[in-house]
Amino acid sequence: MSKSFVEITQDVSRALESLRAEAPEAMQGFSAMSRGALKDGALSKLQKELIALAIGVATRCDACIGFHVKELIRLGVTREQFVETLAVAIYMGGGPNLMYAAEAIRAYDEFSARLAAPKGAAA
């Protein structure tokens, strides 16, 4: 079984466009909550994205993993920070979190390769 986190996030992004058009106030509210929750404060945006990744792993949300991994790479997360976060998620959730931590590693590798591609290449 193989899944592409690039495809998952692209597919969900397309579906979210429908929600933005058909439920604009709810989506604007969610976007505002996201911006407020993830902005730099006592915790950095990177630290907050690592927390979001751990929750995505714990709740087994492929799209959450994809979107947060992509943002973490954009923010410059190191693989060591990434893997330590997954270790905590595994510890807190046992075997099921271990399986989704493995999925998060695949997402990291997939997005790292895509985002490191030369300009003009498909991302």
Distance of alpha carbon 77 from alpha carbon 85, whole angstroms? 11
What do you get for the CA distance between the two ends of the chain, in Å?
22
Distances (CA, A) of 95 to 2, 78, 84: 19, 24, 16
Tell me: the pLDDT tens digits for 16-55?
999 999 999 999 999 999 999 999 999 999 999 999 999 9
Tell me the pTM.
0.83
- Please report the DSSP string for 13-50 in residue order: HHHHHHHHHHSHHHHHHHHHHHHHHHSSSSS-HHHHHH
CB 54 within 8 A of CB 88: yes
Query: DSSP character for 118?
Result: P
pLDDT of residue 96: 86
pLDDT of residue 106: 93
Amino acid at 41: G
Task: Quote the tokens at residue 75.
Answer: 């923010």
pLDDT band for position 58 (cuts 50, 70, 90)? very high
Domains of the chain: 5-115 (1.20.1290.10)
CB 75 within 8 A of CB 40: no
Amino acid at 85: T
Tell me: the pLDDT tens digits for 70-96?
999 999 999 999 999 999 999 988 888
